[in-house]
Amino acid sequence: MPRHLASKIRIHGPAVRRSSKNTTNRLQRDDQKFVWHPFTQMEEWMQESPIIIERGDGRHLIDTEGNRYYDGVSSLWVNIHGHRTAALDQALRTQLEKIAHSTLLGLGNVPSIELARQLIKISPLGLQKVFYSDNGSTAMEIAMKLAFQYWQQQGRQFRRKRKFISFDMAYHGDSLGTVSLSGISLFHKTYKPLLFRTFKADPPYCYRCPLQLRHPTCYLACLHPIESTLREHHQSIAALVIEPMIQGVGGMITSPKGYLRAIRELCTRYNVLLIADEVATGFGRTGKMFACEHESVTPDFMAVSKGLTGGYMPLAATLTTQEIYDGFLGAYDDFKTFFHGHSYTGNPLGCAVALANLKLFRRTKLLQILPQKVRTFEVALRALKSLAHVGQVRQIGLMAGIELIQNKKTKQPYPLEDRIGHRIAMETRGQGLIIRPSGNILILMPPLTATHNELQVMVDIVKSAIQSVTRFQC
């Protein structure tokens, strides 16, 4: 069997139960009848025969027919150690024998306290407080609201600080506040009448530099417009919001060396808070526990989710400094309280499995062995750069984006309606790999426990699929 097809196989033997074809057909019909899928044109979905995932095993997803697929996007960037990880499974069982949930409104619970202590231990120096929520959108919404309220409570001279700087092509979530901070027109233009305005900055998109310069001889000229905005408007700006080191959904745009550190310095100089959206980049994705560590940056707020529980439970946290926390202290009738919370804030099941996740990082020395895997991934990805319809391959850690183009010389993109990324993703499925593109950007983000061979096989499948789909493209 060819190596790139080795992943998509039938599972045989009594240890693994397979649903019948009739069961699969019923599930497909019921899915199409009752379920509304996210980011999906349902009219097209109704014409497909969707894969129904029934089980997981390590780096594989297994459908109701027993077919195995590499989980090439870590189940939307959340899975760290693979599926059915024994230590994480056991953490949930153990916590279930105690309690599944109790509120943090007026009460504490053991796992949320222990997790907060552990998060502070591993986070950038200076982050001291943890506010829990449910997902990346809520974690970012909390950071935004905290930044706004902090300045409102600092005195009359700071109450003009109500605006935000965020980046074009950014993605920070799907609540209205986080959509206001984001900048992906295809997703968000419909909601423009509902949103508040922000100062928008160009991302450091070196492949398509808006200044038409080249790195490194540009000397990070893309920072100049940001500094100009800060210089002119800092008295009305509460915070700058950034996806550190790599801008995810908007194109897997990697920041050049020194960019994040320079942003931190600008925010400090102009007395503007820095919000780091580490929802996608946290927990080893970039090769370090948090992306901010690459340039020794401590943000004023850091939002984390996705990998927090190893891909097991919906949980998020917004970390901040003692200074920000102190700005909310006072007598009750000062009304400085942060009046925000969620029903499942600090959920004990989520916190318990997050603790087990962090313990697994330590026990397996995952961060120490990642550099070799990152190197393997980088070398494997080089084979894609020579393909006629690959414009650029962008990578940090085990996060990679492959930009598809019609013409390599002119960098002409494919029209979105061609759905070239989707077509390639459908081809990779036939070869045993699940990926989900973002427009013309193929995203490959395997679990951190993927072996060196598995990383190579996943890249080989992507290469084969690109060649197959683009073979007759002009």
**pLDDT tens-place values along the chain, 474 residues long:** 344 444 444 433 334 455 678 999 999 999 999 999 999 999 999 998 999 999 999 999 999 999 999 999 999 999 999 999 999 999 999 999 999 999 999 999 999 999 999 999 999 999 999 999 999 999 999 999 999 999 999 999 999 999 999 999 999 999 999 999 999 998 999 999 999 999 999 999 999 999 999 999 999 999 999 999 999 999 999 999 999 999 999 999 999 999 999 999 999 999 999 999 999 999 999 999 999 999 999 999 999 999 999 999 999 999 999 999 999 999 999 999 999 999 999 999 999 999 999 999 999 999 999 999 999 999 999 999 999 999 999 999 999 999 999 999 999 999 999 999 999 999 999 999 999 999 999 999 999 999 999 999 999 999 999 999 998 765
Q: What was the pLDDT predicted at 20?
A: 79
At position 308, the amino acid (one-letter code) is L
Residue range(s) in the chain whose domain bears CATH number 3.90.1150.10:
3-79+365-470
Cis peptide before 216 (omega within 30 of 0): yes
- CB-based contact 344:104 (threshold 8 Å): no
DSSP 421-449: HHHHHHHHHHTTEE---BTTEEEE---TT
Output the pLDDT for position 21.
Answer: 86
CA dihedral in degrees (231, 235, 239, 243; nearest 10)? -10
pTM over the 0.85 mark = yes
Indicate the SS3 state at residue 301.
strand
CATH T-level topology, domain 3-79+365-470: Aspartate Aminotransferase, domain 1 (3.90.1150)
Q: What is the pLDDT of residue 2?
A: 41
Kindly report, as residue ranges, where domains of CATH 3.40.640.10 are found in the chain: 89-364
* Residues in contact with 402: Cβ distance below 8 Å, sequence separation at least 6, in sequence order: 381, 384, 390, 392, 393, 394, 441, 442, 444, 462, 466
How many angstroms separate the CA atoms of 54 and 12, rounded?
A: 15
CA triple 21-24-28, angle to 5 deg: 140
What local confidence, expressed as pLDDT, does residue 12 receive? Answer: 35
**Amino acid in the structure at residue 282:** G
Give the CA-trace dihedral at 253, 257, 261, 262, to 10 degrees.
-90
CATH number 3.60.15.10 given to 89-364: no
CA distance 135 to 175: 11
Provide the pLDDT for residue 11. 39
CA 440-370-376 angle, to 5 degrees, is 60
Which positions ≥6 away from 56 have C-beta within 8 Å? 62, 71, 82, 83, 84
